[in-house]
Structure 1
Amino acid sequence: MKEDYKRRAGSKAGKKKGETKKKLSRKSIIKRIIVLTVLIGLIFLVLGSMLFAYYASQAPAFSEEKLRDPVPAQIYDRNDELVTTVYQGQKRESVAIEDVPDSVVDAVLAVEDHRFYEHGAIDFWRLAQAVVGNVFNGFGSEGASTITQQVVKRTFLTEETTIERKAQEAYLAYRLEQEYSKDEILEMYLNKIYYSDGIYGIRTASLYYFDKELDDLNLMEAAYLAGLPQLPNRYNLYVDENRGEDRAYIVLRLMNEHERITPEQYEEAQNLDVYANLVDRSDEDRASTEPDDPEYASYINFIKNEISSHDSFTNADISELMASGIEIYTNMDAGIQRNLQNLTDDRDYYYNPKFQSDDFDIASTILDTQTGELIAISGGRDYQEVVDHNQALVPRNVGSTMKPFMSYGPAIEELEWRTDQRIQDEYSYSPEGLDHISIYNYDMQNHGQVTIREALSRSYNIPAVKAYEIVKDEAGNDAPREFAEGIGFDYSTIGEGDYEVSFNDVLGGRDSMFTPLQMAEAYSALGNNGEYNEAHAVRHVVTGEGDLVEFEHDSDQVMADYTAYMLTDILKDTFEPYGSADYIRMDGLNIAAKTGTTSYTRELREEQNLPDNAAKDAWIVGYTPEYTMSVWTGFTATRDGGETSFVGTDEHITPQWFFRDIMQSISTYNGQDFEQPDSVLRLNNGELAVQGSEDFEEYSQEGSGTTGGGNGGSDDGDNGGNTWNWSWGTGGNDEDNGQAPENDPPQEEAVEDTPVTEDPVTEEEVNEVPVREEPAEESGSESEGTNQDEGSNDEGNETAPDESSPEEGSDGNESEGNTDEPTEEAEDDAA
């Protein structure tokens, strides 16, 4: 009994003790949580302080000179020689804070930083509001930068939204407030801010927009200037008057809400017209704010684009960056750049008055063939960045310059054709599945069986379309498109991404619209053994803080070296008799090239009373082992009677003379030729074959032999060449001893007007593809003729379905649309 009692008593005591421990453990847990939370907070505080201190130590040097005045960008050429100094915009008219009227100060503070004189470097109340707003409305929906922060950001930092940049901004803002008064900081801000059109500083902006000193501005004008810097190019009254006016009303409302004006002043200001005193400025007047050295303007425009897309500067305002003391080391050859732009601008160079007019324009690009380095670029005649599109970067229909990439290149790449591969030409031809459409060669001739050397260098249309269709049949439906896209011609961005390439694209019509820069990039790959480089201008940048930013560029092998070399060998014949550029001589240069032209729609031709052989664009793209050059010429308006069109032989070849004169002036004439790769064998007849290809084996079995050197050409014997009839695959050997077919008109006749059929044709050097459509049983897709153009591009102008073409008075800054025009039957179908 006694033992049982002790046992029970002990059990009760143990139970009470356990309960006490349980109660104590709950309190202990809460205490531990609090202590742990405090410790974690302290750890984060210490780590955050250390991280902040580290970021602050990496902040750019604090410079009073930069705070007061911008430092212009310096541009260096490929030899590290200083070419030009870029002063952003007009000369700045600084203003002392005591000379800024209260109305202007109130407008700026109302929209930018209402509590500027009350808070320190950072407005923590506004920051808290912004955090809450970003939580509920999405990140970035509200900002909290003070005017002090904006000054240091514009002076020392970039637009990045990283923690590091925010920490450095806070640190530098604190330093700024320690060393300068609020009035001094506001003065810095008002003299630094950007107001579009190359205008910096509020006094400069007041004089530029309203021709007034700040004291003379009315409330509406003051509100407009205060609101402009947030999105200067969008709120610019010369660009979009509605947005600018709406922005001014917002600033007035904020001034009223913050009691910086009375309700009566607010109502009165709303009735003022912001345009009443706006200075009337044409685009040319606005461009007068451009910096000196206009011959470099096109190159500088490209530099800005390239820098803006670099990872280190994607969030930077390029205008601010160019005023931050940046040093830019480029690939520019300053002498070539000056010569290119000066010849472009020289109206006396052009013998024909229509090419001296303001309606005519020309754009070109020069690359290093081996590296893709941008040697020189011209964005157009008298190019000015403020008001002009850089025409070297504007897409245009490219005419027959697409034939190497949509037709013969894929044929050599995928089917390993020899350069004397034969195709049966015809007088007219209906593309596969489009029996109601007929295309023609530029000279309305059937040339019989022709080699691809002859067909490409002379720019026949029917063989090009047949080669394209053979490739699709034997190498796959997507083979031509994939080849073209590999070399930079991206069709996936057209429409909704479901664009289907057609025979029109072989001839550079329809939506084959690319820039002079892209054409130079593509052709330089042909001269570089199939290795593709995107054009690049910048080698490296030294920021205002002394940081070195390298610009790296990759090369891609986009085609076999045999494809590039064999196309190049063919394109050398462009300058030979019967070639599409045989009107100019390139003596002493190993050079290959392709020409192209585009024409108007029939509707526009009839509306503007244009000649049947009128063309709206003319191209040439060519290359040596040293340089690649693309030239586009065209008109920015369409006027009656062909006043602003290429009409006749001497006009169609205008870009060819320009190309010749520039290329001959810049080339070193060092005898360098394109190096024949081991994958290519030159046959005894001078033609080329792919090592190990089926065609080569057949040739070898015939005992024709090979040779390792010598130039190919259509004038050499081309025994053993396979002939492709339109039934495909009916190969056979046909000898023509390299001579042109009997019905191939001699060169002297080529310059005469070609015979006019029901659908008129242009002259030979335009190489327009006349297209006639037979009535279809029912209207079909675009490719069936709903917007088929008759003679769209060059050497045999192709068809391009879009009927859009330049309207009279067009500014030329938009692409012209498709190059070919619908036939009468096509128009009926479309109707």
Structure 2
Amino acid sequence: MATKRKGKRNTKKTFLQIIGGLVIAFAVLMVLAIGTFIYYAWKAPSFNEASLRDQLPTKIYDKNNELATVLYMGQRREEVKFEDIPDQMRNAVLATEDNRFYEHGALDFKRLSGAVIKNITGGFGSQGASTLTQQVVKRSFLTDKKSIERKAQEAYLSYRLEQEYSKNDIFEMYMNKIYYSDGVYGIKTAAHYYFNKDLNNLTLAESAYLAGLPQVPNTYNIYDNPEAAEKRKDTVLYLMNRHNRITKEQMEEAQNEDLSANLVPRTAAERQNIDENDPVYASYINVIKKEIMTHKEFKGQSLNDVLTSGLKVYTNMDKNVQQDLQNNVDNLSVYKNKDQQAAATILDTQTGGLVAISGGRNYQDIVDRNLATDPHAVGSIIKPFLSYGPIIQDLKYPTHTLIQDEQVLNINGNEFRNYDTQSHGMVTMREALRKSYNVPALKLFEEEKKQVGPDAPYNFAKKVNLNYESSDLGPAEALGGGASEFSTVQMAAAFSAFGNGGTYNQVQSIRKVVTRDDETIKFEHSSHKAMEDYTAYMVTDILKDVFTYNGTAPYMIPAGLNAAGKTGTATYADETYQKYQLPSDAAKDVWIAGYSPQYTMTVWMGFTSTKPYGENSFVGHVEQALPQSLFKTVMTDISPIDGQDFEKPDSVIEVGNELQVNSSAPPKKSTITSSEVKTEAAGTRVPAASVTNETVAEPETFEMAPTERPFTERATIETEETAEPVTERPATPAPTTEVSTTERATTELPATAAPTTEPPTTAAPTTEPPTTAAPTTEPPTIAAPKTELPTTAAPASSPEAKPAPSSEG
């Protein structure tokens, strides 16, 4: 008996030991589990509001505050507030994803226990029990990786989320974060993407489909799998009825509805293009991105973070002009081949606001270089800034100043010629610029450097933001070659200063940015006086002649529009002509810059590569005038014909049909009165302007739009090289005793002649010609003061340049 009782005691003791061991083991396991949970929670990402905030697109508005386009940056997403989510949509989501959402805490332990059993029998991860709170946490802080560590962190962060935010807030977060296939995020975006409807306009069937789509978005995508999409819709409707959120009759009616009835038709290409903004805005967007990232408020941030933070960007764009410009650049009929490119910029002449821009044909941001902001050799459009503007600004030369043209101009051993290789005798400053002769431009350039200072042209250009690395500019730069390489944006800003009375405005695409928190960030732009108003007006008055019948761009503005402009071309280096066997009149860059009181537009054309025999070159003046077609087309489309003209300042007076600085305006470097000009450097006095009645007979060779070919001297890359040198020879002495009766004025500025002592005359224009004058069928013209212009100048900064036999302007 004792043995039996002893055996029972041992059995009981063993049982108790086992139970105790199990309890201890369980306790140890619990401690380990809790410790592991605490460890994983400690390693969890930090809980912060920034991570909860969704990526939102940037909306671009035009100058009239109208929405132009949206930058999704790889995610189509719009934000919706909780109160704007209809009950029908809430019920569909809750019935499908988390029916007890408003009853449980961060975790739904009832669902969790069922999921645990499923995971034991079906393997880890076979059944999920995530609440809406957990799904928000996963999409905000974690990844989709299924592991104990991630589940522990998810539970911890879900608890934190429910402590910080209300259930409605969390539901709103979920509805904005969820993925709906095709790069679409958020229920509001999905409703517009699939059905082009606001949430409150969706049918019950459509709401049910969208509520069920996120479970397996690509599988249930109606574009790819319409049958699976219909079945998923029916399942959601069944769940809504099961959870008493709709009646059986509502369920059956919605199940019979065909989802494709209101589905937005989309091609495969459209579905892949996540950034759905119209490509006509791509060039402008490229500029916006650069401007945003240079603003102090966004420095140090990544571009993607900034552009997915829900900004509203208010710009100076006119979306109608932007569309017109890009469509014309893409589809212009004048292109020689697919390698020919074009770029253009349009500014508000008065403010410097960027109205429109095209970075090239079929431009794609990120993929393509923006050719409108890239520098190119500018050719003769630089002449107003290095030759004519400075001489008027500093020496107050009137527009009828006479210059002795020559067939060959020798400067420090380098020979320069006009584009037609001819001498045109005595020409006025107006005619020289209107026809873009090279020799007179160089003489004015050298005279400015001689009388005012070697840095004078450089300083004038610098004030309109045409910045050169060195102030030692030579003849090549004065003709648009060498270091004269600028973008269409830079040249538009510079020319707009002429049209804006001498005030230079920094180009600005953005007016202001409004953040998702309604904070307004202003974008200021600089503005300064770049030149005297008389300089701006007198240069403008000359450049208006460029669009007349004998200018280099005749009739390239719509009738009735007051506009001024300049054309230009740039050539290749000598070795390029030889290597590719190019015609002598082949050019690589062609330009036109023009401005009205409202708009300033610059157009550049070039090629993506150089090919033999001029296939990828502008050969002859007809091809070199191709930018004029784009300029005229767009300016005709966008310009109001309202008679507005450039306002003549009091500092300018008219003498006949020419202009000169009002004598009351104080001189800068030299003294000009109504009766004489004192040339300080030369120490001479010359008579003031006198009136004659000489006719102006235009050469027949200028009946068509001529195009000039400047002489560039510095090679950069092969397609932006310079003109070839020619055999040196002495400059032909200019005639000093004869004046052609076909020129506009009679008083000369000979290359070598001594100043005249002829007394000035102040007589008004007469209807009877003097004995030596030309016939009187033309209106009177004004003679200019005689001032000696040298044939040689300070050492040029570039090597030899060759004469260009091609045409241009």
TM-score after normalising by structure 1: 0.56
Structure 2 match to 1:479: 456
1:297 is aligned with what amino acid?
A
User: Are the aligned partners of 1:363 and 1:391 in contact in 2 as well (CA < 8 Å)?
Assistant: yes
Q: Do the aligned partners of residues 731 and 793 (structure 1) sit closer, same or farther apart at CA in structure 2, a change above 3 Å counting? A: farther
Instruction: Select the residue among 331, 340, 348 that pairs with 2:316.
Output: 331
Instruction: Select the residue among 786, 790, 814 that pairs with 2:802.
Output: 790
C-alpha RMSD of matched pairs (Å):
4.2
Q: Could you tell me how far apart the structure 1 residues matched to 2:311 and 2:450 are?
A: 55
2:313 is aligned with what amino acid?
I
Structure 1 residues 659-808: aligned runs within 5 Å:
659-692=631-664, 700-701=674-675, 731=686, 737=692, 745-748=699-702, 772-774=726-728, 787-790=799-802
User: Are the aligned partners of 2:375 and 2:485 in contact in 1 as well (CA < 8 Å)?
Assistant: yes
Q: Do the aligned partners of residues 753 and 582 (structure 1) sit closer, same or farther apart at CA in structure 2, a change above 3 Å counting? A: closer
Instruction: Select the residue among 343, 347, 351 that pairs with 2:328.
Output: 343
User: Are the aligned partners of 1:365 and 1:376 in contact in 2 as well (CA < 8 Å)?
Assistant: yes
Structure 2 match to 1:375: 355
User: Are the aligned partners of 1:572 and 1:593 in contact in 2 as well (CA < 8 Å)?
Assistant: yes
Q: CA deviation at 1:690?
A: 3.6
Structure 2 match to 1:552: 524
Q: CA deviation at 1:543?
A: 1.0
Q: Do the aligned partners of residues 389 and 752 (structure 1) sit closer, same or farther apart at CA in structure 2, a change above 3 Å counting? A: closer
Structure 1 match to 2:762: none
Instruction: Select the residue among 269, 276, 283 that pairs with 1:298.
Output: 283
Structure 1 match to 2:58: 73
Question: Structure 1: 5+ residue runs without aligned partners?
Answer: 1-58, 93-147, 154-173, 182-187, 193-197, 201-283, 703-721, 756-767, 777-781, 798-831
Q: Could you tell me how far apart the structure 2 residues matched to 1:375 and 1:366 are?
A: 5
- Indicate the SS of the match to 2:588: strand
Q: CA deviation at 1:618?
A: 0.5
Q: Could you tell me how far apart the structure 1 residues matched to 2:157 and 2:618 are?
A: 64
- Indicate the SS of the match to 2:726: strand
- Indicate the SS of the match to 2:600: strand
Structure 1 residues 523-542: aligned runs within 5 Å:
523-542=495-514
Q: Do the aligned partners of residues 579 and 152 (structure 1) sit closer, same or farther apart at CA in structure 2, a change above 3 Å counting? A: farther
Q: Could you tell me how far apart the structure 1 residues matched to 2:159 and 2:583 are?
A: 71
2:614 equivalent to 1:637: no
Q: Do the aligned partners of residues 429 and 548 (structure 1) sit closer, same or farther apart at CA in structure 2, a change above 3 Å counting? A: same
- Indicate the SS of the match to 1:366: strand
2:337 equivalent to 1:365: no
User: Are the aligned partners of 1:399 and 1:794 in contact in 2 as well (CA < 8 Å)?
Assistant: no
Q: Do the aligned partners of residues 479 and 775 (structure 1) sit closer, same or farther apart at CA in structure 2, a change above 3 Å counting? A: same
2:416 equivalent to 1:439: yes
Q: CA deviation at 1:788?
A: 3.3
- Indicate the SS of the match to 2:459: helix
Instruction: Select the residue among 277, 285, 293 that pairs with 1:308.
Output: 293
1:788 is aligned with what amino acid?
E
Q: Do the aligned partners of residues 336 and 548 (structure 1) sit closer, same or farther apart at CA in structure 2, a change above 3 Å counting? A: same
Structure 1 residues 76-91: aligned runs within 5 Å:
76-89=61-74
Structure 2 match to 1:455: 432
Q: Do the aligned partners of residues 608 and 471 (structure 1) sit closer, same or farther apart at CA in structure 2, a change above 3 Å counting? A: same
Q: CA deviation at 1:324?
A: 1.4
User: Are the aligned partners of 1:769 and 1:796 in contact in 2 as well (CA < 8 Å)?
Assistant: no
1:674 is aligned with what amino acid?
F
Structure 2 match to 1:178: 160
Q: CA deviation at 1:397?
A: 0.7
User: Are the aligned partners of 1:426 and 1:446 in contact in 2 as well (CA < 8 Å)?
Assistant: yes
2:349 equivalent to 1:384: no
Q: Could you tell me how far apart the structure 2 residues matched to 1:449 and 1:728 are?
A: 23
Q: Could you tell me how far apart the structure 2 residues matched to 1:671 and 1:357 are?
A: 38
Q: Do the aligned partners of residues 358 and 752 (structure 1) sit closer, same or farther apart at CA in structure 2, a change above 3 Å counting? A: closer
Q: CA deviation at 1:448?
A: 1.8
2:365 is aligned with what amino acid?
E
Q: Could you tell me how far apart the structure 1 residues matched to 2:517 and 2:346 are?
A: 33
Q: Could you tell me how far apart the structure 2 residues matched to 1:627 and 1:460 are?
A: 27
1:692 is aligned with what amino acid?
S
Q: CA deviation at 1:488?
A: 0.3
1:333-392 residue CA offsets vs partner (Å, 9 max, x unmatched): 010000100111115x32xxxx15320110000000000011000010000012101111
2:409 equivalent to 1:429: yes
Q: Do the aligned partners of residues 748 and 484 (structure 1) sit closer, same or farther apart at CA in structure 2, a change above 3 Å counting? A: closer
Q: CA deviation at 1:61?
A: 6.5
Q: Do the aligned partners of residues 322 and 694 (structure 1) sit closer, same or farther apart at CA in structure 2, a change above 3 Å counting? A: closer
Instruction: Select the residue among 514, 522, 526 that pairs with 2:486.
Output: 514
Larger radius of gyration: 2
2:446 is aligned with what amino acid?
E
Q: Could you tell me how far apart the structure 1 residues matched to 2:798 and 2:521 are?
A: 52
Q: Do the aligned partners of residues 694 and 531 (structure 1) sit closer, same or farther apart at CA in structure 2, a change above 3 Å counting? A: closer
Structure 1 match to 2:744: none
Q: Could you tell me how far apart the structure 1 residues matched to 2:634 and 2:805 are?
A: 24
Q: CA deviation at 1:317?
A: 1.2
1:670 is aligned with what amino acid?
D
1:626-645 residue CA offsets vs partner (Å, 9 max, x unmatched): 00001001111111111111
Q: Do the aligned partners of residues 752 and 343 (structure 1) sit closer, same or farther apart at CA in structure 2, a change above 3 Å counting? A: closer
Q: CA deviation at 1:659?
A: 0.5
Q: Do the aligned partners of residues 583 and 644 (structure 1) sit closer, same or farther apart at CA in structure 2, a change above 3 Å counting? A: farther
User: Are the aligned partners of 2:592 and 2:603 in contact in 1 as well (CA < 8 Å)?
Assistant: yes
Q: Could you tell me how far apart the structure 2 residues matched to 1:473 and 1:199 are?
A: 67
- Indicate the SS of the match to 1:788: coil
Structure 1 match to 2:395: 415
Decide which moves more: 544-553 or 457-466: 544-553
Q: Do the aligned partners of residues 771 and 732 (structure 1) sit closer, same or farther apart at CA in structure 2, a change above 3 Å counting? A: farther
2:587 equivalent to 1:607: no
Q: Do the aligned partners of residues 727 and 75 (structure 1) sit closer, same or farther apart at CA in structure 2, a change above 3 Å counting? A: same
2:610 equivalent to 1:625: no
User: Are the aligned partners of 1:573 and 1:592 in contact in 2 as well (CA < 8 Å)?
Assistant: yes
Q: Could you tell me how far apart the structure 2 residues matched to 1:152 and 1:539 are?
A: 35
Q: CA deviation at 1:623?
A: 0.3
Q: CA deviation at 1:738?
A: 7.4
User: Are the aligned partners of 1:620 and 1:632 in contact in 2 as well (CA < 8 Å)?
Assistant: yes
1:544 is aligned with what amino acid?
R
Q: Do the aligned partners of residues 614 and 685 (structure 1) sit closer, same or farther apart at CA in structure 2, a change above 3 Å counting? A: same
User: Are the aligned partners of 1:89 and 1:199 in contact in 2 as well (CA < 8 Å)?
Assistant: no
Structure 2 match to 1:564: 536
- Indicate the SS of the match to 2:363: coil
Count residues with an aligned counterpart. 516
Q: Could you tell me how far apart the structure 2 residues matched to 1:382 and 1:87 are?
A: 20
Q: Do the aligned partners of residues 564 and 152 (structure 1) sit closer, same or farther apart at CA in structure 2, a change above 3 Å counting? A: farther
User: Are the aligned partners of 1:400 and 1:793 in contact in 2 as well (CA < 8 Å)?
Assistant: no
1:180-234 residue CA offsets vs partner (Å, 9 max, x unmatched): 99xxxxxx9xx99xxxxx999xxxxxxxxxxxxxxxxxxxxxxxxxxxxxxxxxx
Q: CA deviation at 1:319?
A: 1.6
Q: Could you tell me how far apart the structure 2 residues matched to 1:553 and 1:60 are?
A: 36
User: Are the aligned partners of 1:419 and 1:451 in contact in 2 as well (CA < 8 Å)?
Assistant: yes
Q: What fraction of aligned residue pairs are identical, expressed as a percent?
A: 41
Q: Could you tell me how far apart the structure 2 residues matched to 1:453 and 1:480 are?
A: 19
- Indicate the SS of the match to 1:430: strand
User: Are the aligned partners of 2:491 and 2:593 in contact in 1 as well (CA < 8 Å)?
Assistant: yes
Q: Could you tell me how far apart the structure 2 residues matched to 1:518 and 1:394 are?
A: 10
Structure 2 match to 1:246: none
User: Higher helix proportion, which one?
Assistant: 1
User: Are the aligned partners of 1:416 and 1:693 in contact in 2 as well (CA < 8 Å)?
Assistant: no
Q: CA deviation at 1:479?
A: 0.9
